[in-house]
Structure 1
Amino acid sequence: PCHLEGLHLAQKIYKKLSDQIVFKIGLFCGYSYPYECLDTLLKRMKLKREDVDAFLGWREGDCYPGFFSVRSKSGDTASLSFVEEHNINVAHYALFRCFLCIDGLSQLADISLGDTTDAVRNNSFIISRTDKGDELIESAKADGYIDYYTLDAGTALTKGIIPFMLREKRHKVLFVIQYLAKRNVPVPDWDIKEAKISKIGRKNGVLRIRMVMFVRKPMISKLLRSHPKLMEVTGRFIYHFDIDPRNLAFRIIGKFLQSHPKLMDAARSIYQYDFNPKHTASKIFQRVKEIRPSKSGKTPNNRIPVGLVGVGGWGSQYVGILQKSGIFNLRVCFDTNKELLQSICSSVGCLKANSLEELLATDDLQAVVIVTPNHFHYEQCIKAIKQGKHVFVEKPIANTVEEAKKIYRATKEKNVIVSVGHNVRRRSEFRTMKKLIETGEIGEVIMVEANNSQYVGEGRETSWRLDKDTYSSGPLSQLGIHHIDTLRYLFGEITEVKSYLKNEYFKSGVPDTILSVFSFKSGILGYLGTNYISEPSFTMRVYGTKGNLIVEGTTLYLQKNGKMKAIKTKSINTLEEQIREFGECIINNGEPEVGVKEAIENMAVAEVIMESAKKNGKNIGLEE
């Protein structure tokens, strides 16, 4: 924001500058810090700058708001939670001008973006203010760089980053400026209306800025910087300082609710104030009825008690999805990252399990969602199924066809539902592509080409994705498997495979590139490529006798009569759709679109691709 403010002033002075600027992109910003702040954070982690091999990120990690993370030259990773980092940064190092800045949202930009301030989603929040901004966003979506959904104005202005920034930056800053101006401290003259702030609010702001100024006195600062833990404690006290009795009461109640998940669940649903005692009592009574399990184990509104295994990475997406599904009641979570687990469970208000066994033993638990590294899927699925739990597991269902078949036999023995997260086929581009093919829009299909690649890069042998012992197929099981399922969904069974692989970049021995050509039972010929080296690629090209259908990123194109046009498709959240289907299958005893049988067939194709590649491109047929 401060750079854009400077640019705005420069444009007023140098008129020609305006014509040379195409558009402006800004970041959300709370504070900026001098470089010496870095040394203090490293000292807090018992490191020096010369000990560090790489800085991994200020907001690294799978859980909002992330960690300040570095990798030492010995190969170890050290992290500070955002809370610890922020407590040190703001009180002790934030530039003084940041306390006097009212713009946290880059309001002079065509587009500004940053966090959602949502504890369970990893999405970014984008604000577009001009036609240029709208055009840029649409172009980025069309080229496959981003996907998005829109928020209505009411939601955007009452929840999340916008009201947070208005409260923290604009409203609080104004009376701090007034306080300093009375003491002859040079301050900016912001041309905005004074915010309506209570007397207690004014005192809070003044006392906080006085404490910041105190701890920055040379003698105090020197003492604190020699004791990083004390610096973090004093920073936390200043950052969270509040003498408003209502806010203090909310904090005390919040601490209590965190240890009582059912009460937390009820409280979250009554977050809007209603001072009519009858209305409030009615809401509370209704929510208590909803969260009390019936004799069947289901709640009256069909909310199914579910446990989530794996809350980091991709698993963090499912936290919010399960919460807002309307079908599931997220009762308990488990993850091997204890700090991350505690953060998620506290923010959601659910139980925390210290092991898979403890999660499965949770009272009334009916279903389990498994979102963990691939090599854990088989064991975790089997344990959950043997306990009689319905299971949703991310793709691939297991590491081998044999493991997948054991899961299939277990589901039949225990009569439970297992749904597998092959979500790409659900994307509206492929749903529409299938309809156009079936209606003859491109005539008879002759061949298909598909590629799904992502850059993983060299030097990341510590990643489970590059562990040859547990994950020997490289990008095939993580990326290529998506297209295997989608190709089978569109064109039927694959009958013969010829494949090649190479490994020129990874020391671990995991293949970095895999290429396969194959034939379908229908006679269509196909190609699949996947790698961990190139720039991201997500494409599928279907060639017909009357035209072609092409998916590039998130856009579907029809190529016909020498012309290419984009086909409008409705953006849908495929993860939400498959979770909703999973819940409906449990309630109605139905069959998921991708169950164990379909997952086994996908795994069989992947296994044959790897077998052919290891035999230098030998043609191999798939058995029934």
Structure 2
Amino acid sequence: MEKIKTALVGFGSVGEKTHAPLISVCEYLDLVAVVERTKEKSKEKYPEISIFRSLEELLEADVADLIVIVTPNHLHFEQAKSCLEKGKHVLVDKPVTLTSKEAEELKNLAESKGVLLSVFQNRRLDGDFKTVQQIIKEGVLGRLVHFESHFDRFRPNLTDNWREKDIPGNGITFDLGTHLIDQAYLLFGNPEWVYADIRSQRTDAISDDYFDITLGYDTIKVKLTATVLSNAPMPKFLLLGELGSYSKYGLDVQEKALKAGELPHGKDWGIEQEAAWGTVFLENTAYKYETHRGDYRLFYTNIAKAIAGTEEPDVKIDEAIAVLKIIEAAFQSNKNGKRIYL
């Protein structure tokens, strides 16, 4: 398979620490260009690439077939639309756009051009989430009645990051909420209703930095929460069933490794130490349940093969649209103080 020429639009923390390394180690992709408005930081690690000062310059040069957009959320729609109109395959960092209507427009445009449009949902490849999928599939806990997913951090000080500024698409709900909702949607499908409490808890915070979102289904309650003011251990996942429970603490190991500058190489990538495994609690016993290997590398391999026509994309744009509709319902619920039925 000939390598697909790939360009990265945006070289902030996520572009530099996550996307660029994953693209660079993918045997089917060739990182040929990066859009950096003022700096040339990407040249330090990838000296062979070309740097462009704008998306327009990149598209005019026509040097890449796959465009990966890792810019602030409010720029995604117009940038993705420009790329699709040029007949480029497009991968957009989550949540793809700010509204489901915009995402639907991009979907129709991609279909009319016959190109790939997908969304970067790497958290589907977290080891703990893959483990949860297996536990549910195996019926370890019997009939599941409660599913709880946390994404808690301790970041009490405000930063200059665009996510904390007064711009559309800011805040923790569009960020971490997109991951948690996507995982829940993958496990349980579309909920009947959404109820949400979304807040700005830190002093002088402009954007939302806390959410508690409940997704209503017939037989199971799904509770999704995130905060930046949790400095005490909280379970990442908590599952309750008729036969027992499962709890898991700690985040997937890959993000920490990428932020530390580690290249995603080798047979030990994404493997969690036994001490961090979650625990299954049954009526008369409890035992550690091995955490599956997490592997974000598989995401870009799938994107390349989807472009080549040998696989379906794992993350489909219809799924991203469904997640956006749940996010829209969450904000509406928070505003109105009641359940929003989908």
Q: What TM-score do you get using the length of structure 2 for normalisation?
A: 0.85
Match of residue 321 from structure 1 = 22
The 1:424/1:551 distance shift into structure 2, 3 A limit, reads farther
| Contact map agreement 1:449 1:540 (CA 8 A) in 2 | yes
Q: How large is the Cα RMSD of the aligned pairs?
A: 2.1
Give the counterpart of 1:467 among 155, 165, 180: 165
Match of residue 231 from structure 1 = none
Match of residue 534 from structure 1 = 230
Distance in 1 (CA, whole Å) between partners of 2:186 and 2:68 is: 24
Distance in 2 (CA, whole Å) between partners of 1:561 and 1:523 is: 21
SS, match of residue 451 in structure 1: strand
Aligned residues: 315
The correspondence of residues 41-60 of structure 1 with structure 2, limited to 5 A, is none
Distance in 1 (CA, whole Å) between partners of 2:228 and 2:99 is: 21
Give the counterpart of 1:587 among 279, 295, 308: 308
Match of residue 597 from structure 1 = 318
The 1:399/1:586 distance shift into structure 2, 3 A limit, reads same
Distance in 2 (CA, whole Å) between partners of 1:410 and 1:335 is: 26
Return structure 1 stretches of 4+ with deviation > 4 angstroms: none
The 1:426/1:384 distance shift into structure 2, 3 A limit, reads same
Structure that is richer in helix per residue: 1
1:430-462 Cα deviation digits (max 9, x unpaired): 2232222122211101111111123343343x3
| Contact map agreement 2:158 2:164 (CA 8 A) in 1 | no
Give the counterpart of 2:248 among 551, 572, 578: 551
The correspondence of residues 446-457 of structure 1 with structure 2, limited to 5 A, is 446-457=145-156
The correspondence of residues 202-601 of structure 1 with structure 2, limited to 5 A, is 301-316=1-16, 317-346=18-47, 349-460=48-159, 462-472=160-170, 474-520=171-217, 522-535=218-231, 539-553=236-250, 554=252, 555-574=277-296, 576-588=297-309, 590-601=311-322
1:504-529 Cα deviation digits (max 9, x unpaired): 42425322322122212x43112111
1:356-414 Cα deviation digits (max 9, x unpaired): 11212334521111222222221221111111111111111111222212211211121
| Contact map agreement 1:468 1:508 (CA 8 A) in 2 | no
The 1:386/1:476 distance shift into structure 2, 3 A limit, reads same
The Cα of 1:496 is off from its aligned counterpart by 0.6
The Cα of 1:485 is off from its aligned counterpart by 0.7
Letter in structure 2 aligned against 1:559? F
| Contact map agreement 1:333 1:345 (CA 8 A) in 2 | no
Distance in 1 (CA, whole Å) between partners of 2:67 and 2:202 is: 37
Letter in structure 2 aligned against 1:560? L
| Contact map agreement 2:117 2:317 (CA 8 A) in 1 | yes
Letter in structure 2 aligned against 1:463? N
Letter in structure 2 aligned against 1:479? L
Distance in 1 (CA, whole Å) between partners of 2:221 and 2:143 is: 12
| Contact map agreement 1:345 1:352 (CA 8 A) in 2 | no
The correspondence of residues 168-179 of structure 1 with structure 2, limited to 5 A, is none
Match of residue 620 from structure 1 = 340
The 1:560/1:456 distance shift into structure 2, 3 A limit, reads same
SS, match of residue 193 in structure 2: strand
SS, match of residue 559 in structure 1: strand
| Contact map agreement 1:549 1:556 (CA 8 A) in 2 | yes
| Contact map agreement 1:443 1:545 (CA 8 A) in 2 | yes
SS, match of residue 192 in structure 2: strand
Distance in 2 (CA, whole Å) between partners of 1:538 and 1:406 is: 38
Q: Which structure 1 segments of 5+ residues have no match?
A: 1-300
The 1:387/1:466 distance shift into structure 2, 3 A limit, reads same
| Contact map agreement 2:127 2:295 (CA 8 A) in 1 | no
| Contact map agreement 1:334 1:341 (CA 8 A) in 2 | no
The Cα of 1:546 is off from its aligned counterpart by 0.7
Distance in 1 (CA, whole Å) between partners of 2:79 and 2:2 is: 25
Letter in structure 1 aligned against 2:238? R
| Contact map agreement 2:37 2:52 (CA 8 A) in 1 | no
Distance in 1 (CA, whole Å) between partners of 2:109 and 2:203 is: 37
Match of residue 149 from structure 1 = none
Q: What TM-score do you get using the length of structure 1 for normalisation?
A: 0.48
The Cα of 1:488 is off from its aligned counterpart by 1.3
Distance in 2 (CA, whole Å) between partners of 1:562 and 1:314 is: 45
In percent, how many aligned pairs have the same letter?
26
Letter in structure 2 aligned against 1:569? T
Match of residue 192 from structure 1 = none
SS, match of residue 157 in structure 2: coil
The 1:544/1:337 distance shift into structure 2, 3 A limit, reads farther
The Cα of 1:492 is off from its aligned counterpart by 1.9
SS, match of residue 22 in structure 2: helix
The Cα of 1:321 is off from its aligned counterpart by 1.9
Letter in structure 1 aligned against 2:184? L
Distance in 1 (CA, whole Å) between partners of 2:107 and 2:92 is: 13
| Contact map agreement 1:307 1:331 (CA 8 A) in 2 | yes
| Contact map agreement 2:35 2:53 (CA 8 A) in 1 | yes
The Cα of 1:544 is off from its aligned counterpart by 0.7
Match of residue 264 from structure 2 = none
The correspondence of residues 180-219 of structure 1 with structure 2, limited to 5 A, is none
SS, match of residue 213 in structure 2: strand
SS, match of residue 61 in structure 2: coil
Letter in structure 2 aligned against 1:352? I
Match of residue 17 from structure 1 = none
The Cα of 1:618 is off from its aligned counterpart by 0.7
